[in-house]
Amino acid sequence: MRKKKDPTHPPAIQGRLRIGPAGWSYPDWSGFVYPPRRSKSFHEATFLAQFFDTIEINTSFYQPIRPDHAAAWIQQVAANPSFLFTAKLWQRFTHEPTATTEDERSVRAGFDVLREVGKLGAVLLQFPFSFHRSPETIAHLSALLKRFADYPLVVELRHSSWQTQDTLDFLREHNAGFCNIDQPIIGNSVTPSAQSTSPTGYVRFHGRRYDTWFSDDPKLPAHERYNYLYSLEELTPWVSRIQEVKKHTRDIYVVTNNHYQGKGVVNALQLISILKGTKLKVPDGLRQHYPQLEEIASEMPAAPTLFPLVLPIRKKSKGSTS
């Protein structure tokens, strides 16, 4: 007897899992993620592609990607054939009602360079907490999803008014993915989930800085909002959620946006190790600042760490004079 199809999920096709950080250009990563001294040929994306199969481009949220920059990035990650970028849609489309046809052309120019060579895994439409579900916002989102329907789209919605079955059905109708997020749960915040509404699955970690998440203090450094390191206990429930999303998607991207001083890189490496059940290569500089990486590192550090490993004491053999 045939099993009935589950209307709430696409078929279980066990997609490819890619985990990586949000962005790569952070001054505070020097000496943490990246070596403090670097050659002129050093590029951050090339370095990260040794450890990760994806990076979320976040500069595209603030301005369109220049085609020449996109072409250069493709070359810089070429040593990792499994690597795919994801990119955030320009905030002019999600946060402002002013986007023009020329703005769309500018956005597409950069995205298409990546897409033409198969390096664009997903385009993320990130909406602010103030974007509540209403007839007007549904119409706006619908128009955007139709406007960019030729890309693999994912939607991040932060207000709980969207956390409904109607929203999931709406996204499925538009073949757009639902972004499952971890964020500080304050008021009407979206809570953790394991939803999949298209062949593209997505999970984002923002950290849990309850004290700074909605802060409007002009003296507070912007990075403090994302200055948070998840513990293994906090990551564990997400392992099950990621595995659930993976069952129902062709590709799933897990992005760590808790970026200050490389904390998201630490958590991304930990998630890779847990989900793939293996030890892995980790950046030498990072392991000096975060000793928990020693547990998942597959190689000895190139240089002594601040937290040296305790080597076993060798028993003297008979006749030994050492």
The string of DSSP codes covering 23-44 is -S--GGGBTTTB-SS--TT--H
Local structure of residue 65 (DSSP, 8 states): P
Supply 59's token pair.
Answer: 């500069």
Supply 130's token pair.
Answer: 């103030």
Supply 147's token pair.
Answer: 């406007």
Q: Residue 155's beta-bridge partner residues?
A: 125, 178
Which stretch of DSSP H or E encloses residue 285? helix 284-289
The residue type at 134: S
| C-alpha separations of 253 from 53, 87, 316 in Å | 9, 11, 51
pLDDT at 223: 85
Alpha carbon 43 to its chain's center: 19
Contact indicator for 194, 220 with CB cutoff of 8 Å: no
β-sheet with 84-88: strand ranges across: 16-21, 251-256, 200-205, 177-182, 153-156, 120-126, 84-88, 54-57
pLDDT at 14: 58
pLDDT at 45: 97
Per-residue pLDDT of the chain (322 residues), as tens digits, is 344 444 444 444 457 999 999 999 999 999 999 999 999 999 999 999 999 999 999 999 999 999 999 999 999 999 999 999 999 999 999 998 889 999 999 999 999 999 999 999 999 999 999 999 999 999 999 999 999 999 999 999 999 999 999 999 999 999 999 999 999 999 999 999 999 999 999 999 999 999 999 988 888 888 899 999 999 999 999 999 999 999 999 999 999 999 999 999 999 999 999 999 999 999 999 999 999 999 999 988 766 544 444 434 333 333 333 3
The three-state secondary structure class of 161 is helix
Residues 236-262 as b or e (16 or more Cβ within 10 Å = b)? eebeebbebbbbbbbbbbbbbbbbbbb
Pick from 234, 297, 228, 212: which is nearest to 261 by CA? 228
pLDDT at 320: 36
Question: Measured between alpha carbons, how far is 113 from 128 in angstroms, rounded to an integer?
Answer: 28
Pick from 197, 236, 201: which is nearest to 16 by CA? 201
Tokens 């799933």 sit on residue: 252
Single pTM value for the model: 0.89
Question: Measured between alpha carbons, how far is 267 from 175 in angstroms, rounded to an integer?
Answer: 30
